[in-house]
Structure 1
Amino acid sequence: MKEMTLKERDASSIYLNRDLSWLEFNWRVLEEAQDTHSPLLERGKFLAIVSSNLDEFMSVRVAGIKDQIKAGYAKKDFTGYTPAGLFKRIMKRCAKMVTEQYKTYRDITRLLAREGIVFTDYENLNPSQRRAMDAYYHDIIFPVLTPMAVDQSRPFPLVHSQALYLAVLLMKEGDDPDEEPYFAIVQVPSNLSRFIEVPARVNSKKHEFVMLEDMIEQNIHTLFSGYIPISVDGFRLTRNADLTLDEEGAEDLLEEIEKELRRRRWGAPVRLEAEKGIHPYALDRLREEFEITDNIFEIDGPLDLTYFMKLPGSLHGHEHLRYRPVESIYPPELLETEDMFDKLKRQDVLVYHPYESFDAVTDFICQAAYDAQVLAIKMTLYRVSGNSPLIEALAHAAESGKQVTVVVELKARFDEERNIAWARRLEQSGCHVVYGLVGLKTHAKITLVVRQEQDGLRRYVHVGTGNYNDNTAKLYTDLGLLTSHMIIGEDASALFNEVTGYSAPHNWKAFGVAPTDLMDKLTEKMRREISHAAQGRPARIVAKLNSLSNQQIIDELYIASKAGVKIDLIIRGVCCLRPGVPGLSENITVRSVVDRFLEHSRIIYFQNAEQPEVYISSADWMTRNLTRRIEIICPVFDKQLQQTLIRILELSLNDNVKARQLLPNGTYARVMNAAPPLRSQFEAMKIDTWKGQPHDHEL
């Protein structure tokens, strides 16, 4: 029997593979780096994001696939791929992406040079510039460098994951050139700027930069006196970064995670990147040491393009090469009040970041921390910024006698060390710090404030779609609901009781909570839409999420589509559902918006005949969110706020500038239509003109 081609096999499945779908997402990010309509320095940032995304993908997803292959696991996933087959497909796709990425890099640097921003080689500097760079090397770079020889008495040193190194081959004067060379490595310091600005030439306004690794290579002889350098080649190793925790057997989860973080440094090698043209002997030594043969990339350009993210901050002027700054407005509902609690007693408030300032959320928590009538504050923390004012506010609240309980998620990937530090700081101030439940990550974003008022205790709640992080709130689109709604407050109390203590499963009145009933609640709502469609009533589902990969949810959406329910999905990243397939999903559309800000808000709309329901959520529709994390979906009861959420959904659905539509074959195509250009994120910047305004139609 003739074996199916990759295209035939993909088309034969009703599901798209999660990892291949993620690569399609990163390709859309790369397309933003290639978009000639975007400012040039911003295109460089997208190029940096492509590199950062690939690093995480390799260290987590590809590492897991390699572990399965090593263990001999050969069972197909629900999309029809074995680990070995998927790995082969991923490597082929990644190789093509990296080639395109560096082609884009060359295009961007060429255009930057036209703008007077030049990355140059040491050889191209004039004498005075060389003297300045030589002085910089000897004063700043040289003292930080450590040459590490590898021989019989000195074993191969630890190579840190995703750090940049130079592989150096050497010989002594008079040695036979055919003899085996001496081998050493030098780490390129990560605490120095990757690019060094050169003093300007006379009568020149150009900004010239040389790369840090090039400066070290130019002066490599200063590290190995008495030896002759044969070759100097950059390389970079990516290790498995997934933590393997025995949570049930751990006496102290914090200590166990600290141990595992130390072990992460020695994670199994997953990917080796090397400078194109690397000396064959050096490459063989690296292959042998890292025991890696099947995931090696020879890079035609500087390794690790994430440095492009820092370039705009080092340049003054060149405003035409950047996006105009976003002026986040303070939510108008809260602008004219000094007492946030008094306002929230009377109305709910929805905050849309980054168009509306995260300061509103910070102010809510800070006011609670300093308010004498507040008795208790309970909060979840997943990823917090490095200098978060929230930590100090919570610490003050505890020190002043308030009951402060903080659920700190120690297992938030790549933020474990920072969260451990915050946990210790909060404990020292008297906060009750809880690390969540065994086997589950606490991903819900919620704060509960309990306040003594004249008419009794009142609960105030903030529910968000994004982290309590004032830095990412300027870069991600997210939503936060501030409310004193009694039912939401009761559910919030029950949620914290379940997380921090022993409590029987709650009969949720407002929330859907994973892993207990969120899946059931979503299924119930979808089936209700099916019932409406069967009876000829309006039936529609609109969901805006980061990712959709859970098979059960996808199957429910397929059933709803076949029943006549109109379904519009706005999925930024991974989507395993195949839309537009006759007899299966012809009533489903999927689009992705990739633009200046990372689309992160999660909104779900059920038309429910003439009684629409709108929710915000911390959860994507992925198996991990629905079964292995504590997540919430929260209704927005206020009709005016519902209209604001509907307007946000409409903007994404009508975007014909930065939206791509998922085709049945698993590829994405830009949305092209005859309507006037509409860029949803730019329209959202006009939030002060449309938030709270009457809306003349439903979705």
Structure 2
Amino acid sequence: MNTVARETANNYLNRDLSWVEFNWRVLEEAQDPTTPLLERVKFLSIVSSNLDEFMSVRVAGIKDQLKAGYTKKDFTGYTPAGLFKRIMKRSAKMVGEQYKTFRDIVRQLAKEDILFSDYEDLNQTQRKAMDEYYHEIVFPVLTPMAVDQARPFPLVHTQALYLAVLLMKEGDDPEDEPYFAIVQVPSNLSRYIPIPGRTNSKKHEFILMEELIEHHIQTLFSGYIPLSVHGFRLTRNADLSLNEEGAEDLLEEIETQLRKRRWGDPVRLEVQKGIHPYALTQLMEEFEISENIFEIDGPLDLTYFMKLAGSLQGYEHLRYKPIEPEYPAELDDTDDLFQKLRQQDVLVYHPYESFDAVTDFVCQAAYDPQVLAIKMTLYRVSGNSPLIQALARAAESGKQVTVVVELKARFDEERNIAWARKLEQSGCHVVYGLVGLKTHAKITLVVRQEADGLRRYVHVGTGNYNDNTAKLYTDVGLFTSHKVIGEDASALFNEVTGYSAPHNWKAFGVAPTDMKDKLFEKIRREAKHAAEGKPARIIAKFNALSNQDMVDVLYEASQAGVKIDLVVRGVCCLRPGVPGLSEHITVRSVVDRFLEHSRIFYFENGGEPEVYIASADWMTRNLTRRVELMCPVVDKNIQQSLIRILQLSWEDNVKARQLMPSGLYERVKASGEPPLRSQFEAMRISSWKALAQEV
């Protein structure tokens, strides 16, 4: 049975294989000749960083199962051994295609006078400059580390770049076993080094750090003859094993586990093509790794491309035109956001509308003498977040400030620990969430004393409170002073920070207590309406769908006749378009300039539509192991704007791909209608709220 036939025989697509297909779609953006060249460079870098995280978390978990002898099939029909084999085969093919794309992009960059040169290609003046740079800047930082009986193999840091060096002494028999050493390529120096220009040249020329070190390797091993120098890079298991129940101090426990991450089990070994067999054997034996070894035909670790693409000056024609986010029109004509929010709810759509509105909301609350309390969840914040500073000022001025900081936000743990300590020093009440659960909800509550009593103002978002990613991700946020939403917001913070019995949510759906049940109830209501001949439809936009129960209830609704349109950026375990199972379900994915990140759910409800925004994807972890929030949108005009956002994504026929029953994706092609690129259409519209009028 061929692969497609085998996969189609199962009602579900595998989560990890679906993720690999998502990263292929990112790679396609790097390959697309219509994408500006330096933007293609960025996409190529994203492919690498995505794969790094996938290997260090998902593949690491599969390897743990293999080590434990686990052989049970998952609900998609794969054993850990079978899944690992399939992932490796598909990933190796993708990496090969990635480096083929890299070589093509390098050729295209050369045509634009951006060159990567070998040391041997430099003229005498350039060589002299690079020699001076090496001896003055690089050499003092390098540490040659020999491996022999007296000096055991040093710690190799995860995802750091190293050189494996084989040496012999003068007069040694070439047949003797060579000496082995490693050298770490400094990560605190630029990976790409500018080369002084040739006479009358306007070219930007670079040499890679490892190339420069390799040429001067003999300076590190005087008295020895270098036989071979090749790069290698190790990826370790980066998943933290927290004992939250037994930890007296969660912050200290996470700090301890972060240190242990350096010694995580090896998961993947990348080596430079042509590496000496003896050097490869030494690495394999030391890391106890015999599979998941990638031989790379090009520079290891293309994540450095991201910084390069951003640092080059004078190449604006090779980039997307800068976007200037608009300040929300509803809030632009007032100095008092609270007065405006008493009158109406306001929707903000990032990055087309500015994150400054969120910052201003918190800053105004911090300075307003009538504000008594500010409560906020923080999952991932930027390196110099103005929100942190505003919260600190509010606490210092005597306001009650409560911040739920999620210390377990993967790869942002250290930054969040630093913010937590800063906030505590300012007098904020810092809470680390609930044992065993990540707090992923995005919500801010402001309690204000007004003439007619206390009033609650709430911001609920689909994305993190991060002013940097708000320029790169598409997310929506809702400002409201709706009484019931405010009451639910207070109850949510009370549950997270104190001891409270499960609340009977009037507006919110909250995971892990009732969000899943509420979604099931709404999906089944659509099925009931379809059976009764009433209008029934579901449109949902989110990042991933992997919960089996959720997939099954969608299958049930499809079989009842509900038309279901899903815009799923990444992982999707649902197999659409299968007769008798899912023929009424269509799944599309949009990968474009911005990372699609908003979660919006629409239910037809027999002609009385309901629209929600949420922090949660339809994954098991979101529905059962995280504190998540789903909030109704009451304002009819805002409902219409959100529906139009869904429609735009669905109508995209330039950057959208449709998931086929086989599990593969095919580009959506315009059939008679003009090209529509949803993100560019969103930028084109001068006022986002005008979308409501176009529905």
Query: What TM-score results when the alignment is normalised by the length of structure 1?
Result: 0.98
Equivalent in the alignment of 1:586: 583
| 1:217 alignment counterpart | 214
Q: Give the 3-state SS of the residue equivalent to 2:693 in structure 1.
A: coil
Q: Which amino acid aligns with 1:221?
A: Q
1:691 counterpart residue number: 689
State whether residues 355 and 687 of structure 1, in contact with CA within 8 Å, keep that contact through their aligned partners in structure 2.
Answer: no
Shift of 1:11: 1.1
C-alpha separation between the residues in 1 aligned to 2:416 and 2:685?
A: 34
Match of 1:171 among 162, 168, 180: 168
1:507 aligns with 2:504: yes
One-letter identity of the residue aligned with 1:560: A
Letter in 1 for 2:372: L
Q: 2:673 aligns with which of 675, 681, 698?
A: 675
Say whether 1:64 aligns with 2:61. yes
Amino acid at match of 1:513: V
2:32 is aligned with 1:28? no
Q: Aligned pair 1:615/2:612, yes or no? A: yes
SS in 2 for 1:688: coil
Counterpart contact for 1:244–1:260, Cα < 8 Å: yes
Relative to structure 2, which stretch is displaced further, 309-318 or 568-577?
Answer: 309-318
CA distance in 2, matches of 1:600, 1:173: 60
Deviation at 1:306, TM superposition (A): 0.6
Q: Which residue of 2 aligns with 1:183?
A: 180
Runs of 4+ in 1 over 6 A off after TM superposition: none
Tell whether the 8 Å contact from 1:170 to 1:183 is kept in structure 2 after alignment.
yes
> Following TM superposition, by how much is the alpha carbon of 1:256 offset from its aligned partner in structure 2, in angstroms?
0.6
1:271 pairs with 268, 273, 278, which one?
A: 268
The aligned counterpart of 1:40 is 37
Paired with 1:619 and 1:195, the residues of 2 have a C-alpha distance of 39
Contact 1:640 1:692 in 2 (8 A): no
Quick check: 1:644 aligned with 2:627? no
Give the Å deviation of 1:554: 0.6
Per-residue displacement from partner, 1:220-259 (whole Å, max 9, x unpaired)? Answer: 1111111111111000000000000111111111111111
Aligned 1:363-512 pairs, distance under 5 A: 363-512=360-509
Q: Secondary structure at the match of 1:586?
A: coil
Match for 1:310 among 301, 307, 312? 307
- The AA in structure 1 aligned to 2:646 is L
Structure 1, unmatched stretches of 5+, are none
Give the Cα–Cα distance (whole angstroms) in 2 for the partners of residues 416 and 283 of structure 1.
34
Please give the alpha-carbon distance, in whole angstroms, between the structure 2 residues aligned to 1:329 and 1:111: 34
- How many residues get paired? 694
Q: Using the alignment, how far apart are the partners of 1:118 and 1:56 within structure 2?
A: 29
Q: Does 1:142 align with 2:139?
A: yes
Residue of structure 2 aligned with 1:545, choices 519, 542, 545: 542
1:123 to 120, 124, 137: 120
Question: What is the match of residue 103 of structure 1?
Answer: 100
Aligned to 2:207, what secondary structure does the other structure show? strand
Q: SS at 1:309's partner residue?
A: helix
Residue 689 (structure 1) shift: 3.7
Alpha-carbon distance in structure 2 between the residues aligned to 1:268 and 1:382 = 27
- How far apart are the structure 2 equivalents of 1:641 and 1:687? 16
Counterpart residue type for residue 132 of structure 2? A
Offset, 1:694: 4.8
Q: Distance in 2 between matches of 1:369 and 1:687?
A: 33
1:198 and 2:195 correspond: yes
Alignment CA distance shift 1:689-1:395 (3 Å)? closer
User: Aligned partner of 1:683: which letter?
Assistant: E
For the pair 1:89 / 2:101, whether they are aligned, the reply is no
Per the TM alignment, residue 203 of structure 1 is displaced from its structure 2 partner at its CA by 1.5
Correspondent of 2:73 among 73, 76, 93: 76
- Work out the CA distance in 1 between the residues paired with 2:424 and 2:692: 47
Q: Please give the alpha-carbon distance, in whole angstroms, between the structure 2 residues aligned to 1:60 and 1:694.
A: 41
Identity of aligned residues (%): 79
Q: Give the aligned residue type for 2:318.
A: L
Q: For 1:287 and 1:533, locate their aligned partners in 2 and report how far apart those are by CA, in whole Å.
A: 59
What is the alpha-carbon distance in structure 2 between the residues aligned to residue 258 and residue 600 of structure 1?
29
CA offsets 1:615-662 (integer angstroms, 9 cap, x no match): 000000000000000001001100111111011111101000000000
Aligned to 2:355: 358
Letter in 2 for 1:114: K
Partners in 1 of 2:467 and 2:138 — Cα distance?
Answer: 34
Q: How far 1:693 moved relative to its partner?
A: 5.3
Superposition deviation, residue 182 in structure 1: 1.1
Query: Which residue is 1:532 aligned to?
Result: 529
Q: What does residue range 265-344 of structure 1 map to in structure 2 within 5 Å? A: 265-344=262-341
Query: When the two structures are superposed, what TM-score results if normalisation uses the length of structure 2?
Result: 0.99
Aligned partners of 1:222, 1:338: CA distance in 2, in Å? 64
1:245-260 aligned at under 5 Å gives the runs 245-260=242-257
RMSD: 0.9
Instruction: Name the aligned partner's letter for residue 35 of structure 1.
Output: D
Distance 2:605 2:81 in 1: 44
Structure 2: tracts of 5 or more residues without a match: none
**Aligned to 1:284, what secondary structure does the other structure show?**
helix
How many angstroms apart in 2 are the aligned matches of 1:333 and 1:226? 73
Output the amino acid matched with 1:643: Q
